[in-house]
């Protein structure tokens, strides 16, 4: 049995009509094809800011269960999504997946243990927090060493 590829897209501030499969005026052939070949979640709930949305996606829990329900993490805040929670990429690695993250993390980076590559991702390329203008690249070898 060959495991299927999994691509999860989380986009901040994306409206119903901001994607090609709901709005034919938008030309996004690659995303439209991914949507046609995959699964579209049309009836979902979103959180008001990015940290709660990301914590829900990564843990499978409502943000109030993780303590991330009220706001996004601020720049150099000495906090992050609690290490007590097992994240989606960690569970995927348990069953043999390679895991990679692209884009904004925004779940904490005050310590090495909070970095994406310490939370189950083999690599991460993107912003660690909100409002950061530069992108960083890390691999699990960097995070563990």
pLDDT at 27: 92
Q: What angle do CA 36, 2, 56 make, to 5 degrees?
A: 60
110 an active-site residue? no
Give the predicted TM-score (pTM) of the model.
0.79
Residue of 50, 70, 100, 110 marked active site? 50
Q: How many angstroms separate the CA atoms of 143 and 139, rounded? A: 6
pLDDT at 75: 66
Residue of 106, 110, 124, 134 marked active site? 106
Taking 70 as the pLDDT cut, the residues of the chain under it are: 75-76, 131-136, 139-145
50 an active-site residue? yes
Describe the strand order of the beta sheet including 100-102 as a list of residue ranges: 100-102, 123-126, 136-139
């Amino acid at each position: 049995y060959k495991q299927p590829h999994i691509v999860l897209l989380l986009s901040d501030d994306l409206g119903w009509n901001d994607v090609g499969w709901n709005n034919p005026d938008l030309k996004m052939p690659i995303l439209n094809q991914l949507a046609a070949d995959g699964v579209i979640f049309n009836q979902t709930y979103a959180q008001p800011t990015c940290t709660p949305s990301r914590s829900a996606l990564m843990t499978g829990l409502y943000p109030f269960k993780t303590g991330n329900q009220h706001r996004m993490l601020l720049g150099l805040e000495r906090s992050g999504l609690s290490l007590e929670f097992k994240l989606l990429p960690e569970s995927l690695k348990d069953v043999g997946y390679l895991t990679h993250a692209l884009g904004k993390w925004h779940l904490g980076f005050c310590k090495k243990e909070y970095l994406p590559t310490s939370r189950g991702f083999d690599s991460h390329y993107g912003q660690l927090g909100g409002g950061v203008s530069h992108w960083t690249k890390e691999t699990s070898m960097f995070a563990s060493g």
